[in-house]
Amino acid sequence: MKMKVSVKWLFALAFVAIAVIAADAAGECPNSTPDAEAMKLLPCASAAQDPNVAVPASCCAQVKRIGQNPKCMCAVMLSNTAKSAGAKPEVALTIPKRCNFADRPVGYKCGAYTLP
């Protein structure tokens, strides 16, 4: 009897895990989460805290990749991981402009902020 209950719970747990993974895939960042993407922005740490710090090329490369999807970029810049790292959203959202991206999503609403 215990074996049947364990197998049922195992299948139920597997179903929930698949549903969570599918929900993440349909979220702001396809195939990833905003927090996971924020971890890739370590080179941007100083530039996301101080608007006077030069943005490293490695940061610009990552932001360019994430910026292909403005919804994802917004979620990443406002993520708990970014906030925990000390990123200031109003400064972090200026990075695409500071990287001189001509195709950045100017005017895109990102929470309480608008991309410059």
- Rounded to whole angstroms, the Cα distance separating 80 from 87 reads 10
Q: Give me the CATH number covering residue 10.
A: 1.10.110
Mean pLDDT (whole number) for 73-78:
91
3-state class (DSSP) for residue 113: strand
Give the pLDDT score at 76.
93
Query: Which residues does 43 contact at the CB level (< 8 Å), separation at least 6?
Result: 56, 58, 59, 62
Q: By residue range, what is the domain housing residue 106? A: 2-114
Mean pLDDT (whole number) for 102-116:
80
How many structural domains comprise the chain? 1
Give the DSSP H/E element, type plus range, for residue 59.
helix 57-66
- For 30-75, the pLDDT digits (tens) are 889 999 999 999 999 999 999 999 999 999 999 999 988 989 999 9
